[in-house]
Amino acid sequence: MPYLVEPIGFINATRKSPEDDYWGEEVAEISLAESIDASALAGLEAFSHIEVLFVFDQVPETRIVTGARHPRNNEAWPKVGIFAQRAKNRPNRIGSTICRLLSVQGSKVIVRELDAIDGTPVLDIKPVIREFLPREATTQPDWATELMSDYWSKRS
C-alpha cells in the first residue's frame, strides 16, 4: 500500500549536486514549508543534535537498487544488499542523518554536517535523545569504515 507524504520543509545548502565525501564543514538551513507553523520547532533549540529524514529526490527511478551491489560501485568492497548500506539509490529514496543543531531562527533550523543538497525535501525532524541511541557498542564491517574514512572530513 503506497503512502503519500508531504515535505515539512526544504534544505538550503551550498552543495548543488551529490558528492560522496567531505561533509564535515557543511552548514545548511532547513526552511519549514508554509503549511507548517514555526511553533512546531518550539523547544528544539534545547537539543544539541537532530535527526533529519529527507528524500533523495534527484535519484532517477532507473537508478534505484532493490537487490545487492558493491558500495559506491567499488568492486574491492563486497557486494551487499541495498539495506546493508546507506546509498541514495534506495527503493524509497529516504535519507537520514544525525547532525549538529546550531540554531533555530523562526521557521528555519540551522545545522552542521547534514549530507543533503540544496532543494532537498525534508520529511521529518526529530531531536536526538540519548535513550534512542544504541545502548551497546556498535559493530560494522571493515569496508564500511573504509568507505566512511573521508565522509565527515573537512575539504582540504
What's the CATH number where 30 sits? 2.40.30.70
Helix, strand, coil content of the chain in percent (nearest 5): 15, 30, 55
- Classify residue 155: in a domain, yes or no: no
- Classify residue 153: in a domain, yes or no: no
Q: Cα torsion for 37, 41, 43, 48, to the nearest 10°?
A: 180
- Classify residue 152: in a domain, yes or no: no
Cell, residue 94: 529516504
- Classify residue 132: in a domain, yes or no: yes
- Classify residue 22: in a domain, yes or no: yes
For residue range 31-41, what is the model confidence (pLDDT) as tens digits? 999 999 999 99
Query: DSSP secondary structure string, 51-118?
Result: EEEEE-TTS-GGG--SSEE-GGG-TTSPPEEGGGS--S--TT-EEEEEEEEEEEETTEEEEES----T
pTM for the whole thing? 0.92
> 3-class SS at 149?
coil
- Number of folded domains in the chain? 1
Angle, CA 107 vertex, CA 155 and CA 23 arms, to 5°? 10
The boundaries of the domain holding residue 61 are 9-147
Give the span between the Cα atoms of 43 and 20, in whole angstroms: 33
Pick out the chain residues at pLDDT < 50.
none
- Classify residue 3: in a domain, yes or no: no
Predicted pLDDT of residue 21: 64
Predicted pLDDT of residue 4: 93
- Classify residue 2: in a domain, yes or no: no
Predicted pLDDT of residue 25: 80
- Backbone phi and psi for residue 154, each to the nearest 5 degrees, phi listed first: -90, 145
- Classify residue 83: in a domain, yes or no: yes
